[in-house]
Amino acid sequence: MSAPRHAPGTALVLVGTTKGGFILSSDESREHWTLDGPHFPGEAVYAVAYDERGGRTRTLMAAQSNHWGTTIRISDDHGATWSGHDRQAIRFPESSGLSLAQIWQITPGYADEPDVVWCGVEPAALFKSMDAGESWTPVEGLLHHEHRPRWMPGGGGLCLHTIVRDPANRDRMGIAISTAGFYRTDDGGATWQARNAGVRAVFLPNQYPEFGQCVHKVVSHTARPERLFLQNHWGLYRSDDWGDSWRDIANGVPSDFGFAMQMHPHDPDTVYIVPIQSDAFRVVAESKLRVYRTRNAGASWEPLTEGLPQQDAYENVLRDALTADTHSPAGIYFGTRGGKVFASASAGESWREIADALPSVCCVKSAVVGAGCA
């Protein structure tokens, strides 16, 4: 294992793009950033993660070659060298008839289970690794779900893009699939129930089906695991009962269409989103690049604009391209389809561009070295 390259306290911003992965780093001030990359040039990186459990400093990137398929790559020295799999370790069983198209989400497990990692993929399935990402097996209860034949792919494919856990109940987990909706297990993945009551599907004749919603992102805070926030394909929602019911919280946003959603790392009432004009015109609402923040769990939202272009902005921010670090005040980061990365070292009060000409940004994750995963 090579030595890590960054000192404790370093803020890392991992950026996946359509043409490779990048790693931005800064000291705690988060004023001056260094760009490292591209890693896996020419390959699309739709999922990244940083994992410090078990004494590791492990970066994971899912690199998709247009020709040769998708592989998770691993670095234990902040991208100086990459090891990992010559074999393509995430594989559907032959009996499923499915083939891996894309990896959409990599989520490390709990701190006291340092070798557990979860992965959401397309076609929609959840994989689990018990050896820190070296080998993977599908979660059978979801793979064989009775709803699967009726799940429909969204614009990005039939992808499982979101994994939500419950530290108060290890057997409980939520996942979101476009276009199938939000599902929850209460028995460690053996069975899964659709939990979409109150979430609208504007594109279906029955707008409140049991499943079939196009959920774009779900977030929660470890301090309030029963409370979920959901950015839908039209609609902003909150659940106070782990998805049993949802209610609209689009109070004062210019559009309730959007993709990205991020929890504040230290405040369970604070959530960030980026409103998008519409499904037909997927650019920021009113051509102003604004992050909206609620600090009262969705009762009201405020625009965060300082340092962001407020006219002629035609950017989009994808579902995993908005993130936070664990410093205080929290760093908030997002990347755009236009290849820009913006950072706030003040929990969103002001912003600055820290990368301006990257390939189209697919995902952004952040971490603080020595502090665990954001």
Residues in touch with other proteins (CB under 8 A) = 18, 65-69, 86-88, 91-92, 94, 97-100
Using the minimum distance from each CB to other proteins, give the nearer residue, 82 or 203.
Answer: 82
Read off the tokens for 12: 């890392």
**What amino acid is encoded at 27 in this protein?**
D
Read off the tokens for 118: 């979860």
Give min distance, CB of 63 to other proteins, in A: 12
Rounded to whole angstroms, the Cα distance separating 237 from 229 reads: 6
Using the minimum distance from each CB to other proteins, give the nearer residue, 85 or 147.
Answer: 85
Give min distance, CB of 176 to other proteins, in A: 24
Using the minimum distance from each CB to other proteins, give the nearer residue, 29 or 65.
Answer: 65
Task: Answer for the pair 181, 225: CB distance below 8 angstroms, yes or no.
Answer: no
Read off the tokens for 144: 């064989």
Give min distance, CB of 97 to other proteins, in A: 6
Task: Answer for the pair 287, 312: CB distance below 8 angstroms, yes or no.
Answer: yes
Rounded to whole angstroms, the Cα distance separating 57 from 35 reads: 18
Grouping H, G, I as helix, E, B as strand and the rest as coil, residue 358 is coil
Task: Answer for the pair 149, 165: CB distance below 8 angstroms, yes or no.
Answer: no
Task: Specify the residue for token string 């939990």.
Answer: 195
Using the minimum distance from each CB to other proteins, give the nearer residue, 88 or 296.
Answer: 88
Task: Answer for the pair 231, 259: CB distance below 8 angstroms, yes or no.
Answer: yes
Read off the tokens for 372: 């665990």
Using the minimum distance from each CB to other proteins, give the nearer residue, 158 or 173.
Answer: 158
Rounded to whole angstroms, the Cα distance separating 305 from 325 reads: 19
Cα atoms in the 13 Å half-sphere on the side-chain side of 336: 26
Cα atoms in the 13 Å half-sphere on the side-chain side of 357: 0
Using the minimum distance from each CB to other proteins, give the nearer residue, 149 or 205.
Answer: 149
Using the minimum distance from each CB to other proteins, give the nearer residue, 32 or 67.
Answer: 67
Using the minimum distance from each CB to other proteins, give the nearer residue, 326 or 360.
Answer: 360
Q: How many C-beta atoms surround the C-beta of residue 230 within 10 A?
A: 29
Give min distance, CB of 211 to other proteins, in A: 26
Read off the tokens for 252: 């004062």
Give min distance, CB of 18 to other proteins, in A: 7
Give min distance, CB of 52 to other proteins, in A: 29
Give min distance, CB of 85 to other proteins, in A: 8
Report residue 363 CA to chain centroid gap: 7
Using the minimum distance from each CB to other proteins, give the nearer residue, 66 or 206.
Answer: 66
Give min distance, CB of 141 to other proteins, in A: 20
Rounded to whole angstroms, the Cα distance separating 86 from 192 reads: 33
Give min distance, CB of 144 to other proteins, in A: 17
Rounded to whole angstroms, the Cα distance separating 179 from 159 reads: 8
Grouping H, G, I as helix, E, B as strand and the rest as coil, residue 143 is helix
